[in-house]
Amino acid sequence: MIGWYEANLVLIEATFLNFLLALSIQVPLRLGVFSFAGVGSYGLGAYTAAILTLRYDVPAFVAIGAAVLLAAVVGYLFSLLVARLNGLYLAMATIAFVLIIAVLATNGGELTGGANGLYGALSDLTTGGVVAVCVVVAVLLALTERGPLRRRIEAVREDPELSLSMGIGVVPMRQMAFAVSGALGACAGAMNALLRTTVSPEEINFHLIVLALTMVIIGGSRSWIGAFIGSVIFTWLPSVLASAGRWQDVVYGVIIILAAIFMPTGLLGLVQTLYQKLRGRRSAAVTAEAPADDTAEERALLQALGGESRGGVQ
């Protein structure tokens, strides 16, 4: 067991970092906002943490904390900039944001190390620290998936106009989503930079956007559990598929296409649907008699009433 853990430590860490990256896409998506800005924040966070560690030798939690804070502020400011955009246009603008971060990193001169990036950002961050951060994030997000906050989020995603008439501020909720997304993306990027001790501009590319989106779509876009499932699958799949040799990319592609077709609500959605069907069958068996009688009786009564009054009118 220890042997397996040591041998796969990089993948285990990557799973948790990918989990945070996936969440940075999922949080706005739960509010109906199609934003990839979290991937840009990943780059922003990675560079911020690496620069602080290299130049000022700050402890890991200070470097990560500063990266998270900065990206949250940038995410919020970015949301003001794209406030009038929606759907595909918003998605395009957020992709541009990711590319701008990559360009800034490449052309940042001494500060960002140019095309080579930064090396030797040694810190005291441990795998345990990464897991602890992920647990805290998961607990906080789980709280947004229940009770009044969940209802607000559902309302903002499904029907902004209804939300307004229910007294829910759609714009502040969306701005908050951008800030949270920025914080989550930066957290993933900062921890990745400190664990690997390096960061380079080519890490922040279109591939990372696709990976983040795929994890959320295949895992499930409504809950942190879905993001976790997605991050496990897409962190480990490439190494599992290594045996397929040069067909690896083809198999990978086919799996994604099949999943998109047959699991529109993601793996988590599929499991939930199956569970509800099983439970529904059981509870239907228990309560079948009483309500069935009631509704049949009620229907007959309503029909009689309706027929009679209509007849009377005519």
Task: Give least dist CB 271 to other proteins, A.
Answer: 16
* Residue among 252, 76, 284 nearest 171 (CA): 76
Among 107, 239, 273, 309, binds other proteins (CB under 8 A): 309
Tokens linked to 272: 């939930």
Write each residue from 89 to 108 as x if it is in contact with other proteins (CB under 8 A), else as -, in one continuous string. --------------------
Contact segment (CB under 8 A) with other proteins among 109-117, 119-127, 163-171, 205-213 equals: 163-171
Supply the DSSP symbol for 113: T
Beta bridge mates, 118:
199
In the region spanning residues 211 to 270, those forming contacts with other proteins, defined by CB under 8 A, are 222
Task: Give least dist CB 159 to other proteins, A.
Answer: 6
d(CA 37, CA 179): 10
Considering the complex, state which of residue 196 and residue 222 has its C-beta at the smaller distance from other proteins.
Answer: 222
- Does 165 interact with other proteins (rule: CB under 8 A)? yes
Considering the complex, state which of residue 124 and residue 158 has its C-beta at the smaller distance from other proteins.
Answer: 158
Q: Is the dihedral of CA 77, 81, 83, 86 positive or negative?
A: negative
Considering the complex, state which of residue 59 and residue 172 has its C-beta at the smaller distance from other proteins.
Answer: 172
- Does 136 interact with other proteins (rule: CB under 8 A)? no
Tokens linked to 146: 């229940």
Considering the complex, state which of residue 157 and residue 196 has its C-beta at the smaller distance from other proteins.
Answer: 157
Helix axes of 37-56 and 170-196: crossing angle, nearest 10 degrees: 50
In the region spanning residues 32 to 71, those forming contacts with other proteins, defined by CB under 8 A, are none
Contact segment (CB under 8 A) with other proteins among 96-104, 236-244, 254-262, 306-314 equals: 306-314
Q: Is 125 helix (H, G, I), strand (E, B) or coil?
A: coil
Task: Give least dist CB 177 to other proteins, A.
Answer: 16
Write each residue from 141 to 160 as x if it is in contact with other proteins (CB under 8 A), else as -, in one continuous string. --x--xxxx-xx-xx--xx-
d(CA 88, CA 81): 16
Task: Give least dist CB 29 to other proteins, A.
Answer: 14
Token pair 């895992």 is found at: 219
Q: 86 in the Ramachandran plot: left (φ > 0), alpha (ψ -120 to 50) or beta?
A: beta
Strands (DSSP E) found in the chain: none
Q: Are 37 and 75 in contact (CB under 8 A)?
A: yes
d(CA 197, CA 12): 17
Q: Is 105 helix (H, G, I), strand (E, B) or coil?
A: helix
- Does 30 interact with other proteins (rule: CB under 8 A)? no
Write each residue from 275 to 304 as x if it is in contact with other proteins (CB under 8 A), else as -, in one continuous string. ----------------x--xx------x--
Give the footprint of other proteins on this chain (CB under 8 A): 143, 146-149, 151-152, 154-155, 158-159, 161-162, 164-169, 222, 291, 294-295, 302, 305-306, 309-310, 313
